[in-house]
Amino acid sequence: MAQQTQMGRVVPYFERWMGSYPDLESLAEAEEDDVLKLWEGLGYYSRARNILKAAKTIRERFNGEFPSSAEDISSLPGIGEYTTGAISSIAFNAPNVCIDANVKRVFARLLNMDLPFNAPAFHDRVKGEAEALLPEGHAREFNQALMELGQLVCMKKPVCDMCPVQSFCLSLKRGVVDQRPVPASPREVVKVDVATGVLFHEGRVLIQKRRPDDVWPGLWEFPGGVIEEGEKPEDTVVREYLEEVELTVEPVEKITVVKYSYTKYRVTLHCYQCTSLVSAPSPVFHEAVEGCFVQPQQLGQYAFPSGHRKLMEHMRGDLRYSQYNF
């Protein structure tokens, strides 16, 4: 939960999660919809789905007991090199290193490394150096000490005066601490314009559940999609409703414009209130595993991606929709 998320935000999520799933068995029995709902707002939903899959795998392949070997731990869904190192060393004191951003920063400065922070060669060198230093029988303390050194002393603004390893630090010796680590090469940013429509019918709104092979699998949304070249946002809504759910709708007014980001994408979401041009709309879901009309006050039971949650938050405070109880 704490990956890519500030610890202060994580605490209530963690408490709610542990209240619902206090042990592996209760998690392995959980429904994906309920797990996603508890995770809603943390982003990177594949982590929630993978925890659920991992719990089921542990129950089925490892008789409900968390595996202790690095090989078995890394075979679990969603567990990569870092998490394998963290679990195997901290829980089982196995001789594996655990390379997080703090550890990378410490080594970049200690060894005065001039490779960019996100270069694979930089990661490999830090890993090799840490493995060479790993003291036998003390992986647990070594990894935690390194991570805390980065978190509490060798921070972005390091406190070299109180650093226990300052006598070994090459970048301090050479007066280049402020140039280490070498910043990561900039990530590509892609701007996307998207339109969505909230279709009202007899006091209810239409939502659909995203497919397992799509972005945000298993989350719910209002139908919509990417605005094509030369298209107005309201035309996109009309086209997407026809393509996705075989409904003819009319965007009657703009609700708001929402901005949000995920991975490299910076999304502008144009949101419209729609009505159906037929008296009894009967959607046929082509881009979703299921869908339904629900009362706005029931939307809280479903997990939505952040753009659509922002849209609902807006509608909750927008007097034009006050009679609907979003």
Which parts of this chain interact with ligand SF4 (CB under 6 A)?
106, 109-110, 153-154, 158, 160, 163, 165-166, 169, 171-172, 177
- Please identify, using beta-carbon distances, which residue of 106 and 139 lies nearer to ligand SF4: 106
255 φ, ψ to 5°?
-85, -55
* Closest CB 177 distance from ligand SF4, rounded Å: 4
| Closest among 106, 86, 104, 105 to 96, alpha carbons compared | 86
Q: Is 113 left (phi over 0), alpha (psi -120 to 50) or beta?
A: beta
Q: What is the DSSP string of 274-298?
A: EEESSSS-----SSEEEEEEE-GGG
* Closest CB 96 distance from ligand SF4, rounded Å: 23
Q: What whole-number distance in Å separates Cα of residue 74 and Cα of residue 76?
A: 5
Hey, what are 201's tokens?
A: 């019918």
- Please identify, using beta-carbon distances, which residue of 90 and 177 lies nearer to ligand SF4: 177
| Closest among 174, 171, 189, 204 to 275, alpha carbons compared | 204
- Please identify, using beta-carbon distances, which residue of 163 and 207 lies nearer to ligand SF4: 163
- Please identify, using beta-carbon distances, which residue of 155 and 252 lies nearer to ligand SF4: 155
Q: Is 137 left (phi over 0), alpha (psi -120 to 50) or beta?
A: left
CB 271 within 8 A of CB 257: yes
- Please identify, using beta-carbon distances, which residue of 107 and 222 lies nearer to ligand SF4: 107
* Closest CB 164 distance from ligand SF4, rounded Å: 8
* Closest CB 145 distance from ligand SF4, rounded Å: 12
* Closest CB 162 distance from ligand SF4, rounded Å: 8
